[in-house]
Structure 1
Amino acid sequence: MRPSPALVRRHRAWQSGALIRFDCLPAAHLAGRAFMKIRCIHFYRPHSVLPVVMLAIIPSCADGACVLSSSASSGVQVCDSGISGSFIGLSGDHMLVFPAGGTGIVSGDITYGTGMDNVDLQSGRVLGNISQGAGVDQFTLSAGEISGDLSQGDDPDDFVMTGGTLGSLAQGDGQDTFLMTGGTITRAFEDGDQAVMTGGSIGRVDMKLDNNVFDMSGGTVINNLVTGFGRDTIRLSGGIVGGNVSVSGGDDQISLSAGEIRGEVRASAGNDTFNWLTGGYVRNSVLMAEGNDTARLYNLSEYYLSANPLLDGGPGKDVLTFDNTVSSQPGRYANWETVNVSNGSQLGLTGTLVLGDSLTDTGVLNIDSSSRLISTSGSVVPFSAGFLASMQNAGTLDLSDAGTSTAGTLTVTGNYTGQNGRLLLLSALGDDASASDRLVVAQGRISGSTRMIVRNSGGLGALTRGNGIEVVQAINGATSDNTAFSLQNPLSAGAYQYYLFKGGATAGSENSWFLRSAVIAPPTPVPP
């Protein structure tokens, strides 16, 4: 009889530091007699270009049968059709292959011991659990189904999933690696260390102890994504987490640049970092918790930010930085000691920005030279009464509401320091009762240098006979340096020129700032 056509199947295993590729040819039949399977084994040593090729004659089961032998101390077994019971291989190094297109079934558990074991599931079904035991193990799942749980033991293990279905995965101790591009882990992935997910679906993730990394660019975690103690890193650049993203105690990093977190972000104790970069959505609170935490919002707008109701720094000395970001909901940002508005950012205050927390009591708001703070009725206050917040303005403080209203205000309960920044106001230039935008400073000190730019909003001009038009109001004991403000633009309406003065004629107005008018002197006639 002529030999049956050879179907070449390639499989990989790690053994003794070398990558092995098995080219498996089904048994040939000649003159009615079954021969052994011939395996051409290619050893790929790390950092070696050329393989070492060996021919091995390995006893073969009948082609198409799935009969796993628990008596085998090591070697390769193939399950491509039929049904086998449970398998136990407690010694030696084993490889089990379910080849592509197969229909083999293992009706019970598969249990390995301390060797370096490799399972490659490209088809078929395992109805029980798989335990790879101690040792450096590898598991590859590209098709087929495992109804039970996979446990990889306590040494460094590798798991790759491109398709198929698995009940749950526990990688155990050791620095394990995980790659998922497709398929479904129905219940849980636990004990991982270095994980990459680009597709597929997992019920929940709990990476537990060690310094974990979970890098997600696609796919879905249906429920929670949790890492354990240590310095953990979670990067989400795509995909969906349906529950909470949590890191436990330690100095951890969470980054979001695309995708969606539908639950909360919980950073727990430690000096943690949250980077929200360019895109993605958090549809619940971000809770940084105890520690000196940092958060950076880069290249974002309310299109992304509006889904997030709360970004909470928690107890500690925390820093929030707006980096090329536009935001307009100050109530979203709680318990931050330092808030930086930087790199062309714009922060709109339509409500109250509270600085500090119950441990630190207060904080500071910094606006750099490229950025802008816009307020129509906003305020900056300390967390605890009796303390002073601080605002340092090197950029632009705009109270003019894009030139549409003369009722804009910003109230700072604490210290205001100009760092050669600008204050933009809109005033209806007339007499003392004229409407104007106004900066209000309570209790603290007005210092530094701020350039004031005032635009007229339909005022016809009039003589001011008292304090003038108030543009900076110092209240509740606030004081002002004499050089805190300077008027940058010539200001006139009708026959009147307006000038900026510190102090008024009435009691309590000594540290406030006013616009007062004078009649523009007519030009001196030129003699004929």
Structure 2
Amino acid sequence: MELRKPLRLLAGQAPRRHPLRARVLSVVLPCVIIIAAPQAARAQCTTDPVNGGILQNGGTCAANNPVSTGFNIAVSALNGANVTTNGTVTANGGGTGIQATTNATVTANANVTAASTGLIANTGGTIIINAITLANSGGGGAAMIATTGTIIANSTTVNWNGGAAVGVGGVVQATAGGLIQFTPGSSINLSGGFGKLMTADGATSQIIANGLSVNMGASGGMTAATAQNGGSIQLASGSSITFAGGGGNTGLSATGTNSSITATDLSLSVGNGGGDVGVNAASGGQVTLTRGSVTVPGIGGGEIGLRATGANSLITANDVVVSVTGGGGNAGVNATTGGTVTTSGGSVSVVNGAGGLLQNGGNVTMTGTDVTASGNGGFGFLFNGSGNTLQYSNATIVASAASFSVQGGAANISLSNAVAVTNNNTLLETVSGASTTFNAQASTLRGVITTAAGGISTVTLAQNTVWTMTGNSNATNLTNNSSEIIFTPPTTDPTQLSSYKTLIANNYGGAGGSITLNTFLGNDTSPSDRLVINGGAATGSTTLRVLNTTGPGDQTVANGILLVQTVNNATTAPGAFSLAGEVRGGAYDYFLFRGGINGNAPQDWFLR
């Protein structure tokens, strides 16, 4: 049986004559007729009778030729209109390049230049720009404004002259729930000006950038990315922000409750001036960084890497490398007035400043983050004002000044599995009028601890912490819990008392800890390192390990060699101290006694 294909006829088409026959072929039923509606070409856009631009009210149109106006808006779409521009768009004389409003959409496939504002999307309007250059012919103004609208920049270059100042809202503004999105390959190049570059202002306002490159010219007082009043900015997949110069600049800033910035693999460089800040969180704003780097290479002073100021303000940095240089007074991280900086992994390095600066209730938590502070004022951590808290674990602190310096107010310092052995010979210093609580667990420490008159320090060593004491030290309260205090050997004449060290504590508590003392083993006048209890009490149990510093050994005929001394009516509990092992000098063995002979110095401890 022969199968015959159905004949397809287009609408309006007459039957074809068979080439071998003179008659018209008849249609064999049943047949299938497919009617293809002809594709309508996009209509030309409506011309604005006032300025000669495009004013499209509804409908769909395409502008294939360049559009240029002397003022007002070059391309305006409203009420659901769908406009495509394939030619360049130019707005001179203070005009706006493209505006989409009331659910209209404009797609720009050619460059846009504006004297004032580049793009405005509001009231549900959408603007899509594809692989174009957006530029301004004047100075200042905004490149993009999305107010309850959306702007999508696909592989777009924004070249903007900031002039003397950019607008209050910034060069790129998402406000009142607006959205601005940059896809990979996009860049923003700003020359000059001061103010804000990118701003997300208001709840649900967003700027999202993937692989965005931002280059800031020689400008001062500029902030590259600002989230405020509940707005959010997301910088993903290797975006970069670079400042060429100026001073008082800020890279990222989240200000206000529910304002947030997140960045992944961001390369941020802010500097070559003074008073620059890499990342700022204020008044409850939050910034989260994952990997990447924050560099503040200033030539002035007061440079800061990460700064959180105000209650509930938070910066979280995971595996981020922070580097700060400058003339002086710099800080790697700065937490103040209730702000919090939390880091995990990565590193913080500072030249001419502190690794961490905590002020007036600042909070810093670091886990696995090595800190290096060098040059003038190279404190590991510097504290000023009341209520400062530092938690530091699983990392190393290297400082050119003190590892920890409390210069006023109160500080609570907690270390866990930390190393702080490189400094200017000062581990912890507390100035007059300041108060320090210092707790170290499973840590390795080196240097002196000093507490000025009028200052208070409470030091607790726990879980096998080792403190190597390199010079005379004093603490208000000292607890040695299963840890070790090691006096370094004398470096000068071991026969002189001045060659040895003294550790003074108002109160000392031992809980299975040990103290290693250096002693010239000889007669009663032999010098030794000493623990001095000043006006308080020594309690608990501590083992004393005595190392001979070339003493030949000799007979003691009086109290013996003083190891633990009490002053100002201090007391020591019986059994508070014991020897770790045999103590021998030459042919003489020494033993530990509480009190002198004939009942004198009853609270002191001697070798004899």
The TM-score bracket by the shorter chain reads 0.7 to 0.9
Distance 1:441-1:151 versus aligned 2 partners, 3 A rule: same
1:456 is aligned to: 548
Q: How does 1:77-226 map to 2 (within 5 A)?
A: 77-78=84-85, 81=88, 83-85=90-92, 86-87=96-97, 89=99, 91-95=101-105, 99=109, 103-109=111-117, 110-120=119-129, 122-127=131-136, 128-140=141-153, 142-148=156-162, 149-155=171-177, 157-160=179-182, 162-166=186-190, 168-175=197-204, 176-179=206-209, 181-186=212-217, 187-188=222-223, 189-191=225-227, 193-196=232-235, 198-201=239-242, 203-204=249-250, 205-211=252-258, 212-215=260-263, 217-222=266-271, 223-224=276-277, 225-226=279-280
1:399 is displaced (CA, Å) by 0.6
Match of 1:519 in 2: none
2:468 partner SS: strand
Q: CA deviation at 1:260?
A: 1.3
For the Cα contact (< 8 Å) 2:77–2:100, is it kept in 1? no
Alignment partner of 1:75 is 2:82: yes
Of residues 357, 363, 366 in structure 2, which corresponds to 1:293? 363
Match of 1:20 in 2: none
* Paired position in structure 2 for 1:374: 468
Partner of 2:572: 480
Query: What SS does structure 1 have at the residue aligned with 2:160?
Result: strand
Aligned-pair CA distance for 1:492: 0.9
> Deviation per CA, 1:312-356, whole angstroms, max 9, x where unpaired?
163026355454435575464215544334326455793453289
**CA drift at 1:272:** 3.2
Return the letter of the residue paired with 1:365: V
In 1, are the aligned partners of 2:534 and 2:568 still within 8 Å (CA)? yes
For 1:158-191, what per-residue CA distance to the aligned partner results, in whole angstroms no more than 9, with x for missing partners? 4437423147222211243444642224532323
| Residues 42 and 62 in structure 2, CA contact (< 8 A), matched pair in contact too | yes
| Residues 1:240 and 1:344: Cα distance change in structure 2 (over 3 Å) | closer
- Aligned mates of 2:372, 2:84 — CA distance in 1: 58
Instruction: Describe the SS at the equivalent of 1:411.
Output: strand
* Structure 1: distance between partners of 2:481 and 2:371: 22
SS for the counterpart of 2:62 is: coil
Indicate the structure (1 or 2) with the bigger Cα radius of gyration: 2
Q: Judge conservation of contact 1:114–1:134 (CA < 8 Å) in 2.
A: yes
* 1:423/1:119 CA distance change after superposition, 3 Å: farther
CA 1:494–1:450: 2 relative to 1, 3 Å: same
Structure 1 residue 309: Cα displacement: 6.2
Give the CA RMSD over aligned residues: 3.9
* Gaps in structure 2 of 5+ consecutive residues: 1-39, 44-58, 163-170, 192-196, 244-248, 437-454
How far did residue 487 of structure 1 move? 0.8
Q: Offset of 1:90 from its aligned partner?
A: 5.8
Match of 1:61?
63
Change (3 A) 1:231 1:144: closer
Kindly provide the CA deviation profile for residues 89-140 of structure 1, in whole angstroms up to 9, marking residues without a partner as x: 36224555555xx655334423332224344463323215235342153443
- State the alpha-carbon separation in 2 of the partners of residues 433 and 278 from structure 1: 53
Number of the residue aligned with 1:333: 405
Letter in 2 for 1:190: T
Number of aligned residue pairs:
456
- Distance in 2 (CA, whole Å) between partners of 1:421 and 1:355 is 27
Could you tell me how far 1:462 is from its partner in structure 2?
0.8
Residue of structure 2 equivalent to 1:22: none
Taking structure 1 as reference, are residues 313 and 120 closer, same or farther at Cα in structure 2, changes over 3 Å only? farther
**Contact 2:373-2:380 at 8 Å conserved across structures:** no
Deviations 1:469-527 (A, max 9, x none): 222222233221122221112111211001122223499733222221xxxxxxxxxxx
Equivalent in the alignment of 2:430: 354
Partner of 2:282: 228
Distance 2:474 2:368 in 1: 23
C-alpha contact 1:294 1:318 (8 A) present in aligned 2: yes
CA contact (8 A) 1:436 1:470 kept: yes
Partner of 1:49: none
Paired position in structure 2 for 1:54: none
Identity across aligned pairs (percent)? 18
Provide the rounded CA distance (Å) in 1 between the counterparts of 2:492 and 2:369.
28
TM-score, normalised relative to structure 1: 0.73
